[in-house]
Structure 1
């Protein structure tokens, strides 16, 4: 029998006849005129949209009937023939699962197609079909199995292994309720395990009546009230069966009003299960569940791994998983407090275990842990260099340099400290001159060249050179580098240039015992270059300093800069006996007086051995000498063939100069005549003014009494409007002769 609540009627099968009774009075309403009906089922998932028409499937002799039943009529919609008479059937939507003989089949009532499912090999086993959910049926299969079958004809759940032969089935989510020899057994569809058995003998049938289970025997009727899933959950949690509790909660049917609270509870259970798996060494399962529930990382961070895993091998594995967890969660979008906790945990791990320090240095720049906790952690593990780097990332330059200064002084130690070159680089980057004054001293003590680079960097803000010079007085090598930098930057202070020259002189004196060293030679070359090129030297002062036996070459250069060419040349020729140096000196000055002085110094009786060099010089550089003076300097005994090339050059130059002057004069005369001719043509040329003509400056017409002017390009203006004779007021063109005036 089956109640039809929409029609307030009761459908009863008795003696192979379907009878309709009134649900309240049980009075006979009608008898359906269908013969040999041995089973029927009410479609709880109807295809028809009329709420007052119910759908019934009924099994008769070798056929299945699809019937619409209402208050007014009974109509067979479809009739499908079968090979055997169906013994039991259940309908859901457009599908009917039925049994005939020892075989289960699935019928599509719309197309009429029948799909064979499977057969039962035990003739004594009753064939039972029960609707579990929309589109899903439970069938008593062979070997005591409960088989789930979808309307498409396949299964997506593992079967339930009943402990003994089943005589009746019911379903109350998430349990299959089976009647067997032991009584009433409750099987979970989640893990297919028997959860409870109620010992009741001779149970004939069992049904689910709106959430309550009714079981009947020959003389008794039992009502089984299900325990709420909340109480089941409490019992599982009390027994520490957390994973089972999670599975139960995840599959519970929750009303829409309680879904948010249910989600929070599920998340809490998932976190507990994940932590339980982690503590039991199931790291991969724990990590997967960590991701699923998006666990608060602080719950994992608070775990004591040393106490949890006393064995070293397991503890090392847990640390690897823990580090992987932190790195994964650091990439997530976390709340600020969670991100700070993750970063602090990572910081502690790296500070303790990163022996090379590379990972820690990369991490600390982006670390978002609480500043005070970060500093305390780094101090605890003596990662002072990393702490200074952290201060730099937070723009706390002074705190960072205080730590580095103590490291350079060896007040504290850190094997990862990169040394004073790194500190010098950071001082250059900070650009704070007050910090440079304060913390650069230790760098200068160790490497003056490195210290000088701080002040010669372009990143340093503008600072008075004199202040730096005064600061560097105790570091001569740094001072020299800085002075060279200033001169390269075109600083035009005489004191700077002169001070650098004096430093070169002092360095040469100090290294006088090692004249052949590259440094000594380089310093000499720098001094000579400075003496030749600098225009801001105190030459008189330097001349007095260089008037010593050790600097004849440099003394000669300064004499030349002061115009004392004879003194300079005499030094090169008579003291140094270096004709090449004298020639180089004259070439640098490019002054005929210097060349003549060189010639005069070399043709004396004391230097008669240099006459061949003089002759060669006259042949190679004849244009450098003043010819009359040079010829007068030569001794009377000089043979003409020796100086013939020089004389020939002098004669050719003189003739060339005379001819060029004659040609230039003729060209000027021709230009003068041409200009006069053009001017005469312009003055005698006539032109007419149209009545519509007007002044291009004031835009007024010309009057007969007004004076006017005409420019060579034809532009007309009033005479009072012409501001320049040689510039056209309209086009701006320049003229050689100017305008033509008429009045």
Structure 2
């Protein structure tokens, strides 16, 4: 894998030999604070340099020597530590700690040496809650196995405690009040404030290559067993997996999110996030590392180098350019808190999007779609890849990343059509998924137009109609042109309709029905009618209603009768009736709608419906089919005349008078009370015995037996008025015995009729009469029995004497008992007689 350049190395300072003799004094350690560089030399010299204006990166233009301090005749300066809050510089040499002023390098009066020291460490933080201010210093004596805790003030220091150790300390680090100590075989944590000790783990390094470095807030970096760089917090837990680094590591430092391991000739840089080696930097005779905000300083024998980390954004972009997406995402998520929110979001989106493109060209379409949606990819980036799918937005500028496995879909469509079809299917599905979402609102016209073109070219009729019949953002000029090329005129109308251009839509469909445009779509005429039923633009309806009614009156009238209830007020009934005057079939249907569905109480509507029926029936030159329709209209007319009580009898009578509609005439005469005339018409002119009997039954319904007998007797007399209708008269008597009173029938019968002719009628009449008489007798006797039962109950209740006073009340109505009108129940309770009978009835 190609190595990424994360840290750039710059020479910060180089010691130039002086004189002819070889300078044997080399660098041993260094300290850095705000462009102030302190170097400890092998010959006991502390060198103080100022780097000037420099923030890392390139080699500084100027490094000026500010001061120099010779600590003694011999002995190397092993460690330097700056305490900025006190302006102190701690110098560890010759097994002792000397305190100098960090600017003048002069000793501080009152701060004597701390001698017999093997290792030391100081807290980075001063105590902010105490006056005067002090810094905690931890030292380990070379004479005894113990740690000493000191408080360093501006002009003095004092020892505040000791901590015993099981072995000699080799190295230590300090983080606030916690000290991490390394002995020859183990690591130990100790908090000198709460006096808590925790043994971590053992190691196998002896007294060499032991590393204890502060790696950040509340955390230490240790060289664990098996050459593992281990992170341990002050609570004794590890929040990061260990890093496997090479043998012989001299020093290590953390510069988040990386850990640097130093060998004599090489610096190895590992990621804390995924524990992988990211970079290696060659050095010469290196000795120590020091991490600071400017970078990581590398102390060599005669040189000081600074490894400066490139911006995190550049690192992510570099990994992204090399398609190391997993590493880029791991790095980005690990440093999220160190980046501005907008920068993080943009980089995260770019990583996800690039990963989506790689999956896209691998034909892993479900994964690609998920990543494109997650990254919020501009849909035009994908649309622009496809042949004949142009992006219509003028403000679009492609920002598609370059990936190594990219394909040319134009070439693919010519060489491998099967695979290209899969890419087309992906585009359809992807555009459908984001349509209507926030991601799709970036370019709704491009999305809908692209979907339209895909459906049209793939002949996906179902999805095409679903798209154009619902609200959409298709560009009309482009889509109409393509539909005309494919002879899809019905779809053109749907597209116009979805864009609110109803006049153009209906005119396009009318041209199809008239044959001006050829389209095989079925049911276009009905679709026009359905559209007009739903339209709210009255002027458009009026423009096409005449054309619709001329083609089909029965279908056309639904434009008025099947409108949404809230739209009924658009057309007043009188306006519609005036318009439909020239269309009788549509007129009758609309009147039926007014009368039967809207339950109109207007006399005009009922009368006009009746006269319209009559006019339709009386039309000359009817075919067989028309005669079947005529029978239905006659039935409707009769039902209307029977059921409606609102129409004008005189107006209908005037219309029907000269016609042969005898049943209608009879119904009208019956409405006027002329039943004999009505029956005469049905018998003599209509010559329909069944119609005459039905007239009697329907007219007498709910009128009582007397009226029914009188009406049937009237019909019998009409039959008897003609000698040729004797058979009908006999049938009427025999079939309707219960509707005749024999006492009234016998006087009107001709004397020439024989008893044999009337035998059936007389027998059944007599049987009916006897039956009725017996039933009346039975009912009377049952009533008598009931009366006797109540008398018996009353007698039983009154056999005992009862003394009445004002306290005696009826148990039912609670009124006072007085007089003989009471009785006693079997339970002994007294009750008024009328209350007793009321309970039992």
Specify which of 215, 222, 228 is matched with residue 304 of structure 2.
222
Residues 543 and 558 of structure 1 are in contact (CA less than 8 Å); yes or no, is this contact kept in structure 2? no
1:150 aligns with 2:233: yes
Unaligned 5+ residue runs, structure 2?
1-79, 388-406, 701-706, 770-841
Partner of residue 469, structure 1 = 580
Residues 126 and 136 of structure 2 are in contact (CA less than 8 Å); yes or no, is this contact kept in structure 1? yes
- 2: distance between equivalents of 1:338 and 1:12? 67
1:236 aligns with 2:341: no
Specify which of 403, 408, 428 is matched with residue 508 of structure 2.
403
Specify whether residues 320 and 403 from structure 1 end up closer, same or farther in structure 2 by C-alpha distance, changes over 3 A only.
same
Instruction: State the shift of 1:70 in Å.
Output: 1.1
Partner of residue 172, structure 1 = 255
Partner of residue 455, structure 1 = 560
Partner of residue 805, structure 2 = none
1:57 aligns with 2:138: yes
Specify which of 503, 510, 525 is matched with residue 623 of structure 2.
510
C-alpha distance after superposition, 1:328-358 (max 9, x if no partner): 5446446954455555555555555683525
Specify which of 15, 32, 38 is matched with residue 94 of structure 2.
15
Residues 123 and 135 of structure 2 are in contact (CA less than 8 Å); yes or no, is this contact kept in structure 1? yes
Residues 508 and 520 of structure 1 are in contact (CA less than 8 Å); yes or no, is this contact kept in structure 2? no
Specify whether residues 120 and 234 from structure 1 end up closer, same or farther in structure 2 by C-alpha distance, changes over 3 A only.
closer
SS of residue in 2 equivalent to 1:428: helix
Specify whether residues 380 and 161 from structure 1 end up closer, same or farther in structure 2 by C-alpha distance, changes over 3 A only.
farther
Specify which of 94, 112, 120 is matched with residue 40 of structure 1.
120
Residues 9 and 23 of structure 1 are in contact (CA less than 8 Å); yes or no, is this contact kept in structure 2? yes
Using the TM superposition, name which of 145-154 and 44-53 deviates more: 44-53
Residues 215 and 223 of structure 1 are in contact (CA less than 8 Å); yes or no, is this contact kept in structure 2? yes
Specify which of 106, 113, 129 is matched with residue 27 of structure 1.
106
C-alpha distance after superposition, 1:588-633 (max 9, x if no partner): 56697996475154154433445545766997556999x8xx9986
Residues paired across the two proteins, number: 632
TM (norm. structure 1) is 0.69
Specify which of 155, 166, 178 is matched with residue 95 of structure 1.
178
1:201 aligns with 2:311: no
SS of residue in 1 equivalent to 2:286: coil
Partner of residue 307, structure 1 = 408
- 2: distance between equivalents of 1:612 and 1:438? 64
Partner of residue 589, structure 2 = 481
Using the TM superposition, name which of 505-514 and 132-141 deviates more: 505-514
Using the TM superposition, name which of 57-66 and 501-510 deviates more: 501-510
- 2: distance between equivalents of 1:289 and 1:614? 90
Residues 149 and 162 of structure 2 are in contact (CA less than 8 Å); yes or no, is this contact kept in structure 1? yes
Unaligned 5+ residue runs, structure 1?
650-743
- 2: distance between equivalents of 1:612 and 1:284? 90
Partner of residue 294, structure 2 = 211
C-alpha distance after superposition, 1:507-561 (max 9, x if no partner): 99533898xx7x6654442344356565355434533332xxxx66566667777
Specify whether residues 569 and 56 from structure 1 end up closer, same or farther in structure 2 by C-alpha distance, changes over 3 A only.
same
SS of residue in 2 equivalent to 1:43: strand
Residues 508 and 524 of structure 1 are in contact (CA less than 8 Å); yes or no, is this contact kept in structure 2? no
- 2: distance between equivalents of 1:175 and 1:57? 28
Specify which of 691, 694, 698 is matched with residue 581 of structure 1.
691
Residues 617 and 630 of structure 2 are in contact (CA less than 8 Å); yes or no, is this contact kept in structure 1? no
Partner of residue 529, structure 2 = 424
Partner of residue 358, structure 2 = 277
1:83 aligns with 2:166: yes
- 1: distance between equivalents of 2:225 and 2:521? 73
C-alpha distance after superposition, 1:699-740 (max 9, x if no partner): xxxxxxxxxxxxxxxxxxxxxxxxxxxxxxxxxxxxxxxxxx
Using the TM superposition, name which of 429-438 and 85-94 deviates more: 429-438
- 1: distance between equivalents of 2:487 and 2:139? 85
Specify whether residues 359 and 102 from structure 1 end up closer, same or farther in structure 2 by C-alpha distance, changes over 3 A only.
farther
Residues 3 and 11 of structure 1 are in contact (CA less than 8 Å); yes or no, is this contact kept in structure 2? yes
Specify whether residues 372 and 557 from structure 1 end up closer, same or farther in structure 2 by C-alpha distance, changes over 3 A only.
same
Specify whether residues 561 and 189 from structure 1 end up closer, same or farther in structure 2 by C-alpha distance, changes over 3 A only.
closer
Partner of residue 732, structure 1 = none
SS of residue in 1 equivalent to 2:200: strand
Residues 264 and 287 of structure 2 are in contact (CA less than 8 Å); yes or no, is this contact kept in structure 1? no
Cα RMSD (Å): 4.9
- Larger RCO, structures 1/2 (Cα 8 Å, 6+ apart): 2
Partner of residue 659, structure 2 = 545
Specify which of 68, 74, 78 is matched with residue 157 of structure 2.
74
C-alpha distance after superposition, 1:422-453 (max 9, x if no partner): 43222212154543454457766876543332
Specify whether residues 500 and 122 from structure 1 end up closer, same or farther in structure 2 by C-alpha distance, changes over 3 A only.
same
Partner of residue 689, structure 1 = none
- 2: distance between equivalents of 1:393 and 1:624? 77
Using the TM superposition, name which of 297-306 and 9-18 deviates more: 297-306
SS of residue in 2 equivalent to 1:6: coil
Residues 569 and 598 of structure 1 are in contact (CA less than 8 Å); yes or no, is this contact kept in structure 2? no
Partner of residue 492, structure 1 = 604
Residues 168 and 183 of structure 2 are in contact (CA less than 8 Å); yes or no, is this contact kept in structure 1? yes
Specify which of 367, 371, 379 is matched with residue 472 of structure 2.
367
- 1: distance between equivalents of 2:291 and 2:180? 19
Residues 505 and 527 of structure 1 are in contact (CA less than 8 Å); yes or no, is this contact kept in structure 2? no
Specify whether residues 292 and 358 from structure 1 end up closer, same or farther in structure 2 by C-alpha distance, changes over 3 A only.
closer
Specify which of 591, 602, 617 is matched with residue 720 of structure 2.
602
Specify whether residues 466 and 23 from structure 1 end up closer, same or farther in structure 2 by C-alpha distance, changes over 3 A only.
closer
SS of residue in 2 equivalent to 1:207: strand
Using the TM superposition, name which of 57-66 and 298-307 deviates more: 298-307
Question: Following superposition of structure 1 onto structure 2, how do residues 345-360 of structure 1 map, counting pairs within 5 Å?
Answer: 345-346=450-451, 348-349=453-454, 355=460, 357=462
Instruction: State the shift of 1:85 in Å.
Output: 1.9
Specify whether residues 589 and 317 from structure 1 end up closer, same or farther in structure 2 by C-alpha distance, changes over 3 A only.
closer
- 2: distance between equivalents of 1:639 and 1:468? 65
- 2: distance between equivalents of 1:18 and 1:11? 6
Instruction: State the shift of 1:203 in Å.
Output: 1.4
Question: Following superposition of structure 1 onto structure 2, how do residues 327-726 of structure 1 map, counting pairs within 5 Å?
Answer: 329-330=434-435, 332-333=437-438, 337-346=442-451, 348-349=453-454, 355=460, 357=462, 361=466, 365-368=470-473, 388-389=493-494, 391-409=496-514, 419-439=524-544, 449-457=554-562, 459=564, 460=568, 461-462=571-572, 464-472=575-583, 476=585, 478-485=586-593, 488=596, 489=600, 490=602, 492=604, 496-506=609-619, 509-511=622-624, 522-530=632-640, 535=648, 537-546=651-660, 569-574=679-684, 578-586=688-696, 596=714, 599-612=717-730, 620-621=738-739, 635=750
SS of residue in 1 equivalent to 2:285: coil
C-alpha distance after superposition, 1:371-396 (max 9, x if no partner): 66676677777776565455445543
Instruction: State the shift of 1:7 in Å.
Output: 1.6
Instruction: State the shift of 1:153 in Å.
Output: 2.9
C-alpha distance after superposition, 1:550-581 (max 9, x if no partner): x6656666777798876654554456654443
SS of residue in 2 equivalent to 1:402: helix
